[in-house]
């Protein structure tokens, strides 16, 4: 499943995350002076935090205020994860002999970052970097670049490696399919639906094993599977027929067994494109058209 997440477009990734718990992340970045002889008290760096927030938001996560940072209602939810970082900088000055001007640069001596699972208190990610020969003309430039570096770290490591998405396994039993060919065409359709994380054909009579996001399995099957399939076929061919435990039962209408309807199942664009982001559906339709021409 992780491989398929990495291959998603931005729109698909955001939609999938929102359907799987919609994790909320708060960010706290502190700046300290590496040279204790200079009077620079530790303080929050809003500049660095905002740069990190933009990177996190671009991956589909919601950015949340840190605990105690904002006035909230009694039912307000707290962040699921918190990114905490500490940046140490110092200022170096040098007088140019030729002009007599004094040049001051901000030098980064180290930065430490960690991610905390607020539910368990576990530190799920830690990293400390002591860069060499990195300096900037102003402190603001230094903090902006540091924020970008921290954001890049989490886009690669936190999202792709440290966040686990839950899934549920169900048995989808479709009664009334006219033949083996129809079952295999339905398998192809299920593989093209984004909310279906994995699917296996267990029996040619119409028994499938699906992995779905957490939530009501019957609601997901109805909205993400049956609704687009019926829209593709132009009539209500598939209908829920009850559920028990991990089994979700679906009936296929006998009226849809006629050749004209079954031809739509084979030749019309995949039902999964009906709920896909526009950029994704256009790309797939274009690719399909190219194959047809060839």
Q: Report the CATH number that the domain containing residue 63 is assigned in CATH.
A: 3.30.160
The whole model's pTM is what?
0.51
> What's the rounded mean pLDDT across residues 180-194?
92
209 shares its domain with 98: no
215 shares its domain with 158: no
pLDDT at 8: 57
> What's the rounded mean pLDDT across residues 46-55?
88
149 shares its domain with 175: no
Residue with more model confidence, 153 or 123: 123
> What's the rounded mean pLDDT across residues 146-157?
74
Q: Which segment, 18-22, 40-44, 137-141, is predicted with the most confidence on average?
A: 137-141
141 shares its domain with 32: yes
Q: What is the pLDDT of residues 216-257, one digit of tens each?
A: 999 999 999 999 999 999 999 999 999 999 999 999 999 998
pLDDT at 164 over 60: no
pLDDT at 20: 56
136 shares its domain with 48: yes
Q: What residue numbers bound the domain in which 107 lies? A: 22-162
pLDDT at 279: 47
pLDDT at 287 over 70: no
**Is 293 part of a structural domain of the chain?**
no
157 shares its domain with 201: no
Question: Rg of the chain over CA atoms, in angstroms?
Answer: 27
> What's the rounded mean pLDDT across residues 33-56?
78
pLDDT at 237: 96
Return the closest-CA partner of residue 146 out of 26, 55, 39: 55
The band of 291, judged by pLDDT with boundaries at 50, 70 and 90, is: very low
Domain endpoint, select from 140, 162, 184: 162
- Per-residue HEC secondary structure of 116-146 comes to EECCCCCEEEEEEECCCCCEECCHHHHHHHH
């Amino acid at each position: 499943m992780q491989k398929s997440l990495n291959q998603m477009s931005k729109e698909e990734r955001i939609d999938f995350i929102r359907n799987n718990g919609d994790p909320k992340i708060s960010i706290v970045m502190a700046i300290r002076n590496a040279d204790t002889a200079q009077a620079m008290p530790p303080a929050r760096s809003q500049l660095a935090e905002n740069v990190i927030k933009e990177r996190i938001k671009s991956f589909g996560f919601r950015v949340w205020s840190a605990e105690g940072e904002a006035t909230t209602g009694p039912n307000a939810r707290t962040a699921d994860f918190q990114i905490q970082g500490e940046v140490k900088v110092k200022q170096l000055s040098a007088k140019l002999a030729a002009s007599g001007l004094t040049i001051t640069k901000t030098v980064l001596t180290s930065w430490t970052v960690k991610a905390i699972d607020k539910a368990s208190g576990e530190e799920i990610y830690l990293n400390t970097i002591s860069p060499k020969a990195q300096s900037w003309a102003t402190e603001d430039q230094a903090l902006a670049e540091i924020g970008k570096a921290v954001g890049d770290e989490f886009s690669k490591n936190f999202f792709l490696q440290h966040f686990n998405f839950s899934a549920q396994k169900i048995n989808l039993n479709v009664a009334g399919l006219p033949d083996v060919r129809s079952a295999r065409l339905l398998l192809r359709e299920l593989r093209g639906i984004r909310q279906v994380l994995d699917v296996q054909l267990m029996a040619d009579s119409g028994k499938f094993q699906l992995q779905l996001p957490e939530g009501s399995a019957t609601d997901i099957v109805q909205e993400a599977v049956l609704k687009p399939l019926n829209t593709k076929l132009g009539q209500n061919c598939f209908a829920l027929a009850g559920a028990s435990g991990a089994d979700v039962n679906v009936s296929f209408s006998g009226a849809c067994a006629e050749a004209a309807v079954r031809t739509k199942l084979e030749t019309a664009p995949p039902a999964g494109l009906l709920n896909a982001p526009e950029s994704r559906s256009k790309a797939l339709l274009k690719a399909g058209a190219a194959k047809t021409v060839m």
